Structure 1
Amino acid sequence: MESRTQGPVVHITFGRPEKLHAMDGAGWTGLAESVRRASADPGVRAVVLHGSDRAFCAGNDIGEFLRLSTAREARDYFLGLVVPAMEAIVRCEVPVISAVRAGAVGGGAEIVLVSDLAVAGTSATFRLPEARIGVWPTVFAAVAPYTLAHKPAGLLALTTVEADSGTALRCGLVHEVVGDDLVDDAAHRLALTIAEGSRDAIRRTKRFTTARLRTEGMAAVRAALAELCDETLRGPDAAEGVRAFREKRRPGFASSASAD
């Protein structure tokens, strides 16, 4: 996780580019700490999150799923590491902007969802593939009712199809689409525009616009992740989904047999 300050804006770039910025425990912890530091700095007016030309963020590293052998380990990971990172973005004292130049997958798309604003390049794509590996997009399912309309949220979360930047714009997942080479500059200009306002006014505005998300929404996230850890990850579909992912084949879910 790399942070750099450019005037009143802190730019945070996800690590592990060789893994398409897939997040492990250290990644989630680094994101939470970086956002909290920026939030506490009185000179900061906005935060911009970046990936790279190859990916914005590929979500959770599948290797993390493989090591979660008990509900306790799953809870420690998701509730102890993922939730604090998402909550740091939601509770950040200044607006957080996602600059999406390429794919935002799974947890990466969820980072975009909980950001205050998002700029996407024309090549950016968004996908929630969790159901294909026997789990479900818990943060997205819990938060979407507070940030997106019901039908667009269902389209993304239930179908697992990849959405292009135009679809993301229509859904409200991003607010602006620009050329791929203009994404970072557009996000920075947006942050500078925000920075022209009073920090106190910005802080209070964000607190009120995210009030339901910070309370009801994040409570829903914790409930969804607890259900994922205690029930879904212990079931046969999750085991089959991860095996199929590693073996690069189509999964054969027992719970889907009656629908075939």
Structure 2
Amino acid sequence: MSNNSHELLRTGGAIELKIENKVAWITLNRPEVFNSFNRDMALSLQSVLDNCNEDSTVRAIVLTGNGKAFCAGQDLKEVTDPELNPGFRKILEEHYNPIIQRIRTIEKPIVAAVNGVAAGAGANIALACDIVIASEHASFIQAFSKIGLVPDSAGTFFLPRLIGFQKASALMMLGDKVSALEALTMGMIYKLFPVATFEEEVKTIAENLAQMPTKALGLTKRLLNQSMTNTLEQQLALESDLQIEASSSYDYNEGVTAFIEKRKPEFKGN
């Protein structure tokens, strides 16, 4: 990848990628079907996430959608076409599960900028991100029960932890549409912005993340991941280990020095 901070790197396909000011903007780009996933789009997203992970110039990632929707989940035309249908096991094990695993294991902050409807797997991919920001036109739907399926893409893992077991159970069984304001109120998302300022607000947050000590943010992400299954004792031990690792970084030294010198730190992300 180029180090040019204003270069559009990939356009025209199911996934678009732009790197700007150390932020990778990943856009789901099938607006004619509300950015629903087919195999090409799922595999392309995995590839782009891998590239962003490997590119040291990328220090924050934004995932958003083109057009009116963020992502409507699985493209049902693919699963009902006798020739194209890869089968649900392949869809989950080769499409969605690897996407969720990448979102959680890439040690860079990933922001979901939910610009419109996020349904089914689309909603759960958003909720797996580190920070979820929604436009006032956004909505979230656990749509699986509407067609006789169960939630996937780690929805049953993250949603109960975000909003509580009882409310998650109700949303998954009833398939209620949750507005952006309702999602904010119940703690499903971080912030809500008007449509007119949404893109600029997301940009501000993402560029702020990209200027922060990326290594420390990545270690924080690792701690949060492990907190899902660790005992208190295990978590305390891991905090100690990772704090020692963080304290040996360039950014820690820069942060402390800047504090003493009463100036703004210039973090490098390592």
What is the TM-score when the length of structure 2 is the normalising length? Answer: 0.73
Across the two proteins, how many residue pairs are aligned to each other?
A: 214
Maintained 8 Å contact 1:15/1:21: yes
Describe how 1:22-33 pairs up with structure 2 within 5 A: 22-33=36-47
Cα distance between partner residues in 1 of 2:82 and 2:185:
36
**Paired residue secondary structure (2:37):** coil
Q: Distance in 2 between matches of 1:212 and 1:146?
A: 11
User: Is 1:60 aligned to residue 74 of structure 2?
Assistant: yes
Identity %: 25
Verify: 1:116 aligned to 2:113, yes or no: no
CA shift for structure 1 position 151: 2.8
Partner of 2:250: none
Look up the match of 1:145.
Answer: 160
In the alignment, which of 16, 21, 34 is matched to residue 2 of structure 1? 16
Structure 1 residue 171 corresponds to structure 2 residue 186:
yes
Match of 1:79 in 2: 93
Q: For structure 2, which runs of at least 5 residues remain unmatched after alignment?
A: 1-14, 231-270
| Secondary structure at the counterpart of residue 134 of structure 2 | strand
How far 1:214 sits from its partner (Å)? 9.1
Larger Rg: 2
The answer as to whether partners of 1:9 and 1:44 remain within 8 angstroms in 2 is: yes
- Equivalent position amino acid for 1:92 in 2: I
Partner of 2:199: 184
* Deviation readout 1:90-112 (Å, 9 max, x if unpaired): 11120111111211111110111
Q: In structure 2, what is the equivalent of residue 43 of structure 1?
A: 57
> Equivalent of 2:144, from 112, 127, 130?
130
Could you say if the C-alpha distance between residues 51 and 213 of structure 1 is closer, same or farther in structure 2, counting changes exceeding 3 Å? Answer: farther
1:92, 1:56 → 2: CA distance? 21
CA 1:141–1:189 in structure 2 vs 1: closer, same or farther (change >3 Å)?
A: same
| Cα shift readout 1:65-84 (whole Å, capped 9, x = no counterpart) | 22479x98321221112111
Root-mean-square deviation (CA), in Å? 2.2
Q: Aligned match of 1:107 in 121, 136, 147?
A: 121
Whichever residue aligns with residue 62 of structure 1, its letter is: L
Kept in 2: contact 1:140–1:157 (CA 8 A): no
Aligned ranges 1:216-235 → 2 under 5 Å: none
CA distance in 1, matches of 2:87, 2:105: 26
Structure 1 counterpart SS, 2:87:
helix
Can you list the C-alpha shifts for 1:111-150, whole angstroms capped at 9, x where unaligned?
1110110111111111111111111212312332344422
Tell me the TM-score normalised to structure 1 length.
Answer: 0.76
Call closer, same or farther: CA 1:37–1:197 in 2, change over 3 Å: same
Query: Which SS does the other structure have where 1:3 is aligned?
Result: strand
Structure 1 unaligned spans of 5+ = 216-260
Change (3 A) 1:130 1:211: same
- For 2:228 and 2:183, locate their aligned partners in 1 and report how far apart those are by CA, in whole Å: 20
